[in-house]
Amino acid sequence: MEYQILNKISSPEDVKKLNIAELQTLCSEIRNCIIETVSKNGGHLASNLGSVELTVALHRTFNSPKDSIIFDVGHQCYTHKLLTGRFNEFSTLRTEGGISGFMKPSESEHDPFITGHSSNSISAAYGIYKAKKLSGDGGTAVAVIGDGAMTGGMAYEALNNASTAKTNFIVILNDNKMSISRNVGGLSRSLTKMRNKPKYHNFKFAINRFLLKIPFGKYLNSFIFGFKESLKRVVYKNNMFSSLGFNYLGPVDGHNIEELEALLNIAQSYNRPCLVHVVTTKGKGYPYAEHSPKIYHGVSPFEVDKGALKSKNTDFSTIAGKTLCELACKDPKICAVTAAMTSGTGLSDFAKNYKNRFFDVGIAEQHAVTFCAGLKKGGMKPFFAVYSSFLQRAYDQIIHDCAIENLGVTLLVDRAGIVGEDGETHQGLFDISFLTSIPNVQIYSPSSYNELSHYIKESANTKNVTAIRYPRGCEGKTTSEIDYTKEFSQVKGEGKKVIVTYGRLFSEALLAKEKDNSLDIIKLNKIYPFSDELINTIMGYSNIHFYEEGIKNGGIAEHLSSVLAQKGYGGKYTIHAIDNKFIPAASVCSSIKSRISNIYFSSSTNSRSFSF
């Protein structure tokens, strides 16, 4: 596709030189570029299409990189990348060796902070803002946060802290779904329009200065301010941002660049924290995404003209959701909880069929875990479906609110292991390391759909905190020799050496055994804690190779090696895991190959590759 303006943008300074007609053309070209790229590479579509004009206005108003602009989560940063010198690389979005789908400081000086998880932008921006003021380097920092991310408690912790600032700190609320403040009637609309004009604010400042210079002016000014605030409360109802100490500006049309620039300039004129409420349309400019923003939030490659997403095959997430529905049909105590990931964790049918027992708590993993603990204390049977990388945020709650009292809460840990194109911030590599450090937690890692369904059903009546972790995608090769009702299973060969593994990698172990029948395989079903039977069985081998799709430090392999050492094991024990590194974006297969493969099982006569 030919681009008349976008291909000439090498920095935000180029954007500032454009007139309004050229800006409109630029926005259209940006949308076409995003749609074209995401249709090939997959990625976050609807949220990025909705924030095009907002991002353009931000870069025309502020001076990146001197001014730091932080996009929460990063689901809104594609336009930012295109305006900051990455147009020529944009076709590599979310590919191995290409640019990230999120903000990444190592990629550009215009990305001041790495993003990928929600609700941290205000905290990070306020920290950067204060650092700039303390160091005297000049510049400012702006947080751009969506209404979805505002459901995360960390955002309010940051707002509460930032409200104490005596200087200008700006938060942009990109509201593309819900109304933050309910505006009522024509008077409300008129006042909003008036308050968003520079002349209104200039007049207000002039009156304040005048009153403070005359006798009794201080008291008169206080009376006028109190009257104005009372009127605003009547018209606008309660505005929590104003209550927190922020100067609230908006709402403003997030697709009108001129109005956006005017209001952003007004926000900069205040000597106090400001929140600018911007209303945008998710999926703007692409009818399919506008009509179904949830479906087009994060997408796989699709046909642009038809808007036809690839049909979703059965995967571990859908099996988890289906199994929970089966349980809920028979047991009225079954409850499902998610943190703003209903579709992603396979719970759409549960939400539809068991509305009173389904709870989407928003982007609030900490609350979700403690909420589940409360449900359990109240006699229910809660299941919390959550991505592995997001469960990290609830570590304290698992310890304090679940494990200490040994409450039977089940954690359905989706996207465990390598997830691929979303990169470092989303890889599910740490759940085992932190879960195994907590007493009263048992962990299962199925490699097939039948196993997953079995463990979910069994955990409904557990007395321990139970984590059932499973990968993104579909099941692989399996065998009838596996008895998943036991804590571990063996696949026998000649018994000269053994692969010990679990989860998705079991399928790859079977492929390796087809090439080398000297291998035995021990598949861990319940991967932690270990039973005496498992330890005794493994002790019978003199050559052990442990394969793990997770971080090596604190992983199952290291825990097992410690137990074997205590038992006096004298054979050869080799760990093949991810060597304490963050894994960048790539396809799942490519990531596994580059990080875990190139390992060989050696004997005196041959060498066999254990490939992924």
202 band by pLDDT with thresholds 50, 70 and 90: low
Mean pLDDT over residues 358-364, rounded? 94
241 band by pLDDT with thresholds 50, 70 and 90: confident
Residue 114 structure tokens: 């790495």
Q: With a cut of 90, say whether residue 436 has pLDDT above it.
A: yes
CB-based contacts of 514, cutoff 8 Å, min separation 6: none
Q: With a cut of 50, say whether residue 4 has pLDDT above it.
A: yes
Write the burial class of residue 290 (CB in 10 Å: 0-12 exposed, 13-18 middle, 19+ buried): middle
Contact 253/261 with Cβ under 8 angstroms? no
Distance of CA 199 to the CA centre of its chain: 41
Q: With a cut of 80, say whether residue 607 has pLDDT above it.
A: no
Picking from 107, 102, 103, 152, the residue whose alpha carbon sits closest to that of residue 128 is 103
pLDDT of residue 199: 61
**Geometric angle at alpha carbon 112, from 23 and 179, rounded to 5°:** 60
CA distance 247 to 96: 43
Look up residue 417 and give its DSSP letter: B
192 band by pLDDT with thresholds 50, 70 and 90: low
The 10s digit of each residue's pLDDT in 104-131 is 999 999 999 998 889 999 999 999 999 9
Q: Which of 214-218, 324-328, 531-535, 592-596 has the lowest mean pLDDT?
A: 592-596
Q: Which of 82-96, 291-305, 316-330 has the lowest mean pLDDT?
A: 291-305
Whether a cis peptide bond, with omega within 30° of 0, leads into 251 is: yes
Mean pLDDT over residues 415-434, rounded? 90
DSSP string, 459-471: HTT-SSEEEEE--
Q: With a cut of 60, say whether residue 379 has pLDDT above it.
A: yes
Q: With a cut of 90, say whether residue 553 has pLDDT above it.
A: yes
Picking from 344, 299, 300, 298, the residue whose alpha carbon sits closest to that of residue 320 is 344
494 band by pLDDT with thresholds 50, 70 and 90: confident
pTM reported for the whole predicted model: 0.86
Determine how many CB atoms are found less than 10 A away from the CB of residue 497.
21
Residue 315 structure tokens: 């995967």
Mean pLDDT over residues 333-345, rounded? 95
Q: With a cut of 70, say whether residue 250 has pLDDT above it.
A: yes
Share of the chain above pLDDT 90, in %: 70
Picking from 555, 523, 522, 319, the residue whose alpha carbon sits closest to that of residue 417 is 555
Question: Number of helices and strands (H, E) in the chain?
Answer: 24, 23
CA distance 381 to 336: 9
Amino acid at 483: D
End-to-end CA separation in angstroms for the chain: 37
Mean pLDDT of the chain: 88
pLDDT of residue 604: 28
225 band by pLDDT with thresholds 50, 70 and 90: low
Residue 79 structure tokens: 């336009």
Q: With a cut of 70, say whether residue 337 has pLDDT above it.
A: yes
Where is 316: in which H helix or E strand?
Answer: helix 316-330
Q: With a cut of 50, say whether residue 601 has pLDDT above it.
A: no
CA distance 405 to 372: 13
Contact 260/53 with Cβ under 8 angstroms? yes
pLDDT of residue 235: 55
Q: Which of 238-252, 360-374, 425-439 has the lowest mean pLDDT?
A: 238-252
CA distance 54 to 456: 44
The 10s digit of each residue's pLDDT in 285-305 is 999 999 988 889 888 889 999
Determine how many CB atoms are found less than 10 A away from the CB of residue 344.
18
Amino acid at 365: E
pLDDT of residue 231: 59
pLDDT of residue 21: 97
CA distance 104 to 116: 9
CA distance 425 to 43: 14
pLDDT of residue 120: 94
Look up residue 150 and give its DSSP letter: G
pLDDT of residue 313: 79
The 10s digit of each residue's pLDDT in 12-26 is 999 999 999 999 999
CA distance 227 to 609: 78
Mean pLDDT over residues 40-49, rounded? 93
Which position has the token pair 């041959």?
Answer: 606
228 band by pLDDT with thresholds 50, 70 and 90: low
500 band by pLDDT with thresholds 50, 70 and 90: very high
Cite the active site residues: 282, 365, 393
506 band by pLDDT with thresholds 50, 70 and 90: very high
- Across 185-194, 200-209, 570-579, which has the greatest mean pLDDT? 570-579
Contact 269/262 with Cβ under 8 angstroms? no
pLDDT of residue 310: 61
Residue 251 structure tokens: 């709402």
Mean pLDDT over residues 53-81, rounded? 95
pLDDT of residue 191: 47
pLDDT of residue 103: 93
CB-based contacts of 352, cutoff 8 Å, min separation 6: none
Determine how many CB atoms are found less than 10 A away from the CB of residue 239.
17
Mean pLDDT over residues 341-349, rounded? 94
CA distance 49 to 402: 41
Give the HSE-up count for residue 550: Cα atoms under 13 Å, Cβ half-sphere. 30
The 10s digit of each residue's pLDDT in 135-171 is 998 899 999 999 888 989 999 999 999 998 888 899 9
Contact 122/73 with Cβ under 8 angstroms? no
Give the HSE-up count for residue 523: Cα atoms under 13 Å, Cβ half-sphere. 28
pLDDT of residue 189: 57
Mean pLDDT over residues 247-260, rounded? 93
pLDDT of residue 143: 97
pLDDT of residue 45: 94
CB-based contacts of 70, cutoff 8 Å, min separation 6: 103, 112, 113, 115, 121, 124, 125, 128, 141, 142, 143, 144
Whether a cis peptide bond, with omega within 30° of 0, leads into 439 is: no
- The better pLDDT of the pair 477, 193 is held by 477
Which position has the token pair 């066999």?
Answer: 608
DSSP string, 471-536: -SS------TT--TTSSEEEE-S--SEEEEEETTHHHHHHHHHHH-TTEEEEEESEEESPPHHHHH
